[in-house]
Structure 1
């Protein structure tokens, strides 16, 4: 009953807000495009019965959008494309401001705050903190100031009564605040980042090895692990994706506590025996033993490898041992998990479960295209440089095929390879798209490294697909099946869509000196940190 009443109230407020948005959008500079409204039908689930009743309702929704120009030459113009992505960011942000301000994420169809996010129902403003640096980079000054004011006056991590993910809190909050500080030099962002990082430290002290546990209650300081994670083990991608943020924090504060926690962790993992040089996805934080032989560069493993490279770059390439660790880890992955499909010769990374190879690649693993492109820039051996650039381009091509082979031209959560299948989702639970950034992230790096226009064009294809299938009345939504029309929208605008997807798209259509790869390193949430401070 409360939800129904709340929905009506939000509809009234939303109508007023939408009118104001249309007026402001008309004044917003955007190359050769006019506002129009198109009437579309979307399948959405009844909000009142979201958890129980699975009956699908069909509602007519008025979607206000900028028309994509019919002028093909204009649509290939990078200034047009860049400004279009900027308008997308403003639209996504304005919807969040109007209907979910202070809450973590937005339900853009039902125009309400999304309480089912990974940060729970506490009003921690995940979208605000995650999106702040994107707003700044895009030159959305008023929007950035509003975000800054909320962070200054209203953000308090201690209002979270439930357990928080150490990993997600670090990459989104600590990372987002440190990036905002790096871009603006405003101390309030740094002070908030320090406060949160200090609250995460007990997770490192909760085990005998220094391997941090996955969850922290910031009010009590008690840390725990997920019960589902291989019997309470710590996750490779999570405990391996803290050092970049903590290194930056130690560098700018002079407090080595953060860095030393991560160095101890890294040194411990380095001493462990690795089966065939591989890093399993789960590690027992108390016994120091691998929990099972599940190995992946997608979910559960991904950003561990990313941070080996990026921490080395952030440290100005001084740690030769870390570079060697990264190279050995990547070589093992290449030797055991890299395959080529037939007949299309698509290169992909499979997963290993015990002794069995599962020929499945996650959308998350598409980040490796960018990682290898970045690596190629810093290889001193010409053959190694060529090898890793080829690998980057081949993986980038495979990820593009995973998009191009769907009805919606959006990529599935994971895709498989078999005798009669190449880069396609074959299971319903693998067919959803939640506005993920990893494919466009890879193409962004490939554009920066090679200068090839096709990578910009592939990113633009994603923009067109997002506009066609994911743009709702108050923002952008994921879809439940990339191979089904009409699309079944999930009514969630993920904070990483503003932090990562739109940022990488914008930068792809910008000059290469905009957040230059020579001077900045992106964390795994696309928050840029300066290499030299």
Structure 2
């Protein structure tokens, strides 16, 4: 994404390249929005590998090995910890889930058949991981090799522990449980630790399995503490703001830390749920204290940014400057900071109103500045979220932003905002639409749309769509007929103007929100939509070994990518399984699902 504060094109490109160099292995980044319409032709998007796409480790200079992390004397110790809030909530948190009636026999059979198909797909992927990449981070689903994208601590195994429990795969869980004894979280060959990824995949994976097994296996909490103790070292800075990309071996050598002047928003505010749960489970206040200090600064800055109520995509944590960047998005590089506001309120049992204040302050600015209704030939009443840079709005949808429907749905229920439930449903329906209109039945990573003038009313105007096609076209012939022919050739349905990133990489965000909306409304049409999504994914991504992302969702003969992220088993297949489960399995009134779909028990 162009990240320049100015609206000049060349500075925007330069800053985009700088972000690529700095952040190219991040989970949170989705590719940037489309270039401004006047970006020089012949310059293809320079997307970083991305919470979740195609991550590649940065080559690093090896230091002396082996090196093991151990507890250090802190250079900037906390004098007094902020305690978990314990005030009685003003009123109980409202229920989230629909009061499901007893299902009839035919509905039950269909649901169980679908659930069984999801479980079979999971076992196929899990078996491929076991046979080809056991105790490694990820299996390569075509070549049968493995990659260590997350410090080599068996990311797929740890990330998937709770899925094994949810699916009742007890023997597989016991084998995984025995294997985690061999994972040493005090050392890695990686020179830089991605604190966010380590927290959500490893710490979150262990704690969720501990919660789901009712504390039966103490090793799970022990391992979560090992991870927590390690990443807590990244908070030893003068202002106690963490270093998101932490050169941990330099800390061992005594080099002082300073928070970065360019930290992605998603890495700023997306540790709260995991760190809070670790304090709740262990009684150690330092983890909650660490993230609460971050939240307090987010609250102080919230009304002072370029769009009051929202935070920009990058922030200066060293100087606590939240106004430098003029880019605002709910997509990659920002997403889970917003997602965690209602979820942290739930996890804390409503014992503080801070997260309600933070969330409610975002809602209207999101609606007014980021949401848009696409102009479609069938006048579909759907919504997407775009990106705003300064005064310019980019009507570009990302698969990553599909989490917003679920976020709005949960917020509508727990904060008694019934009017937001309609917005939530339109956002969910938008992502379903994006799956249904593609020949493969799969939503692209990123695509642009013609936008309506209003969120509520829209009239189809072919000329507006054709103008949008011309902006993204490199054809010499830009006549109406040529644009219509191009749209047919590139499988662009009326209203869609360009597919900026054509891949599908096994992402969970769409089914996540479909699942949440189903649990909120009980609408069986959402189960049918989920089934269409699942069967398309299974058809297009299955390999002999596991499942693979695909290169271009517009073509059914597209190439497969030799990559299967751990979130395929940890998130995507888990949500598909749960939408076809009994509604009391991982009830949203009993658990909080993290950004990695790890269920943590809610406290009273």
TM-score, normalised by the number of residues in structure 2: 0.71
State which of 331, 334, 345 in structure 2 corresponds to 1:312. Answer: 345
Structure with more contact order per residue of length (Cα contacts < 8 Å, sep ≥ 6): 2
Distance apart, 1:424 and its partner CA = 4.2
Distance 1:187 1:425 in 2: 53
Q: Tell me what 1:135 maps to.
A: 164
Q: Tell me what 1:80 maps to.
A: 113
Distance apart, 1:157 and its partner CA = 4.9
Question: Residue 411 of structure 1 contacts residue 433 of structure 1 at CA under 8 Å; is this kept in 2?
Answer: yes
Distance apart, 1:153 and its partner CA = 2.8
Q: Tell me what 1:325 maps to.
A: 358
Q: Tell me what 1:358 maps to.
A: 394
Question: Residue 211 of structure 1 contacts residue 234 of structure 1 at CA under 8 Å; is this kept in 2?
Answer: no
Structure having the larger proportion of residues in helix:
1
Distance 1:188 1:425 in 2: 52
Distance 2:325 2:291 in 1: 23
State which of 78, 84, 99 in structure 1 corresponds to 2:132. Answer: 99
Distance apart, 1:330 and its partner CA = 2.0
Distance 1:155 1:140 in 2: 25
What are the Cα deviations for residues 374-408 of structure 1, in whole angstroms up to 9, with x where unaligned? 1222133xxx21x1111111001110111111111
Q: Tell me what 2:579 maps to.
A: 508
Q: Tell me what 1:176 maps to.
A: 205
Distance 1:204 1:423, change over 3 A: farther
Does residue 484 (structure 1) correspond to residue 514 (structure 2)? The answer is: no
Distance 1:475 1:354, change over 3 A: same
Q: Tell me what 1:495 maps to.
A: 566
Q: Tell me what 1:370 maps to.
A: 406
State which of 288, 300, 305 in structure 1 corresponds to 2:333. Answer: 300
Distance 2:248 2:176 in 1: 23
What are the Cα deviations for residues 1-20 of structure 1, in whole angstroms up to 9, with x where unaligned? xxxxxxxxxxxxxxxxxxxx
Distance 2:353 2:425 in 1: 26
What are the Cα deviations for residues 294-341 of structure 1, in whole angstroms up to 9, with x where unaligned? 111111111111111100011111211220111101221112112222
Distance 1:487 1:314, change over 3 A: same
Distance 1:503 1:353, change over 3 A: same
Distance 1:88 1:242, change over 3 A: same
Distance apart, 1:96 and its partner CA = 0.5
Q: Tell me what 2:481 maps to.
A: none
Distance 1:157 1:97 in 2: 24
User: Could you say what secondary structure the match of 1:102 adopts?
Assistant: coil
Provide structure 2 residue ranges, at least 5 long, that are not aligned to the other structure.
1-55, 58-105, 451-463, 469-493
Does residue 450 (structure 1) correspond to residue 521 (structure 2)? The answer is: yes
Does residue 411 (structure 1) correspond to residue 482 (structure 2)? The answer is: no
Distance apart, 1:211 and its partner CA = 2.6
Aligned pairs for 1:250-329 (under 5 A) are 250-272=279-301, 273-277=304-308, 278-290=310-322, 291-329=324-362
User: Could you say what secondary structure the match of 2:498 adopts?
Assistant: coil
Does residue 214 (structure 1) correspond to residue 241 (structure 2)? The answer is: no
User: Could you say what secondary structure the match of 2:448 adopts?
Assistant: strand
TM-score, normalised by the number of residues in structure 1: 0.80
